[in-house]
Amino acid sequence: MDLRQLAVVVAVAEEGGFTAAAQRLHTVQSTVSTVVRALERDLGTPLFHRTTHRVALTPAGEAFVPAARAALEAVERARAAISPVHGRVRLGLAPGLLLDLHRVLAAVRDAHPGLVVEVRQLDRESLGCAVAESTVDIGLSVGLRGSSKSVDGLVTTPLTCEELVLATAPGGSRSAPGDLSGLSLVDFPAGWAIREVVDRAFADRRVSLEADDLTAAVSLVRAGLAACVLPASAAGRFPEVTVRRFAAPPLWQLAAVHRADPPAAVTAVLAHLG
């Protein structure tokens, strides 16, 4: 028996049905049914009478639900004693979108010990649907510079915005050429967010090497084997390379897609992303 099972049973009892409970829990009806059946098997008794039109508590359910509710409330009080913000936030993002993800997660952990962030990799086209279907709470994407906007109950909030720069081997000019076609470049695999942005900004460039790790890519740059286009903050973490700025720099704008009026846990994560 775990806390999720308790929360599902309480939701079914309070909402009066599996479908309504699924909506409240931001999941699907089949998941709610599966969780309840598994708990009933563990307990050895049904908790609900199921009919075509309604769901009602059995005598065992009548005894179980108040105890389950009290247990959940006790856990909430224990979490609140450690951190005023707690719970679970599911973060969806494309590979390579947040190059300092470990720093963000560590900062959230330090500020809110009771808050758990789960990270799932999604392609850009899936992010909006994932938030709408509540399979993630925040979808990170590379967006356009601008203000927050709301569409169909979902809010797109711009976060950090910075220039893309060219990282090269130590020494040389601090200015990047506008045409990269003559350079040997290291880039990230197709499907990575940064690859998508650089593909759009420099369609004619030649990718000589691919790396699925930032440190590995910078090692190739440092060795003089290739140059690499990176967000300025990422390139700035490696003082051993030369950072060259473009005359008309492409922008790296992170945006977060989430539901309007997000709970405190989501707001706390957004604050650290921004």
| C-alpha span between 94 and 86 (Å, rounded) | 25
**Calpha distance 209→55 (Å, rounded):** 60
- The backbone torsions φ and ψ at residue 204, rounded to the nearest 5 degrees and listed phi first, read -95, 5
- Owner of token pair 């797109």: 156
Is residue 30 scored above 80 in pLDDT?
yes
Comparing C-alpha atoms, which of 54, 74, 55 is closest to residue 9? 55
How do 154-168 and 149-151 pair as beta strands?
A: antiparallel
In terms of pLDDT, which residue wins out, 58 or 22? 58
**Residue-averaged pLDDT of the chain:** 86
Residue 83 has a pLDDT of 65
Over residues 206-230, the pLDDT tens digits come to 889 999 888 999 999 999 999 999 9
pLDDT digits (tens, 9 = 90+) for 241-271: 999 999 999 888 888 989 888 888 999 899 8
Give the total residue count for the chain: 274
H/E stretch holding 139: strand 138-142
The predicted structure's pLDDT at residue 74 = 86
Structural domains of the chain, ranges and CATH numbers in brackets: 3-82 (1.10.10.10), 87-159+253-273 (3.40.190.10), 161-251 (3.40.190.290)
What is the residue whose two structure tokens read 């290739």? Answer: 226
Taking Cα atoms as reference points, which of 191, 188, 169 lies closest to residue 241?
A: 169
pLDDT band at 147 (very low <50, low <70, confident <90, very high): very low
